[in-house]
Every structure is written in structure tokens, then in C-alpha cells.
Amino acid sequence: MTRSSLPLLRCVVEGLIDQEVARVLAREAGFLQTEFVGTLNGRGNVLKNIGNYNRSANQIPWLVLVDLDKEKCAPNLMKKYLPHPAKKMCFRVAVHEMEAWLLADRERFASFFKLPSDSIPDKPDLLKDPKQEVISLLASSTDRIIKKLMLPRSGSGRTVGPGYSDKLIEFLVEPSHSWRIREAIKHSPSLNRCFYALQKLRKQA
């Protein structure tokens, strides 16, 4: 099988962490190639162009992945911006932010970030602010380097530390202790729905 004939999934996401999540999702669902059309700066830019992606999805499998953020209902958001998805479009929403999906692999998250295993919430989709939950959890980490990199510095005015995204990406890609999607879907219904939809799309590709 040549590279050009391998199952391809085109992806659009909000940021770099989301990109690595999408890569894991695609691989686990059976797509052997992922092509990121854009890692865009925020949900607004993704949704602004979703009509173009949807037209392309009449022919090629697509994953468009955004956070729910402060919206109240993922199905309503999806219906509002894409009422008629193309046959090869997978438009999914992380509830409420991508960090909730990472927290859903409770054992690995606790191990990687040196946290008590019982401190990780078992229903991360119910968290209204998963990013803030991660910051609060990291304050209890026994690894001072992790805390230095990921926690916001006093007086910086920032909500996260300078190495926040890099460490979360490391968690996603680190070979021996990385995020396990098949464990995470047990604790995150929104992730489970996304993974199931991608598996279904792969069978159609």
C-alpha cells in the first residue's frame, strides 16, 4: 500500500494541544494519515470556515474539533453551526475544554503529573472550567519542575505557566506513560461519542 492510498483524515482544531489529541484519536480510529489544514487560534476561526470544510467532506473524511467553552449544550452548538453535516464530516465538541478529555485518563494523568490518583475527578465532562481544574490540581504536584513550568507566575497576569501547553503535549506523545484514549472514554461521554463517530467514519472511508 502506497502512502497516497492510506486512509487520510483532514483535521481542523483550535490549538496545538487539540492537534495532538486529534492525532491520537485518528490513529486509534484507524486513520493512518492525518493532515492538519490549520491549527487555528480559537473556536471562532474554526467555526467561521466550517462551511468550506463541510463541502470538502462530501468527498474526503474530515474532523472538526472545538471546545464547548461557556456554551450550555454541545448538540445545540453543533446544530447551530452545522445543521446539515456532509456524509464524511465528523464535527465534535470537547465538553467543556480539551483538558477534560486528558483528565479522563485518571491513572496516567496522576502518574505523569505526580499527583495523588484519587485527586482526579471521575466525571471531567461535568467540570465547568477544566483548565482551571488542571491548574488547581498541579498546585499539589510533587514535581517542582512541573509546577514551575505549568503554574502561572505571580504578577504575570496569565492563567497558566509558560510551559503549560508543552507539558500537556508531552503527556499526549510520551511513549511509555502517555494518554490512553480507550481508558479515557470510560470517564468522558463527549470523548466516547467523538471516538465512536470517528470509528464509524473510518469504515466509510
Tell me the pLDDT tens digit for each residue of 115-125: 998 999 999 99
- Residue 40 and residue 72 in one domain: yes
**Mean pLDDT over residues 54-74, rounded?**
94
- Residue 89 and residue 152 in one domain: no
Tell me the pLDDT tens digit for each residue of 27-63: 999 998 999 986 667 888 899 999 999 999 999 999 9
Q: What number of other Cβ atoms are within 10 A of residue 150's Cβ? A: 23
| pLDDT at 1 exceeding the cut of 50 | no
Say if 196 falls within a structural domain.
Answer: yes
- Residue 62 and residue 134 in one domain: no
Range of the domain at 199: 7-95+188-204
- Residue 37 and residue 76 in one domain: yes
Domain count of the chain?
A: 2
Q: What is the pLDDT of residue 185?
A: 97
The DSSP code for 94 is E
Q: What is the pLDDT of residue 70?
A: 84
- Residue 142 and residue 159 in one domain: yes
pTM score: 0.93
DSSP alpha helices (H): ranges in the chain?
Answer: 16-29, 43-48, 50-56, 74-81, 98-103, 106-112, 130-138, 144-150, 164-173, 181-184, 189-204
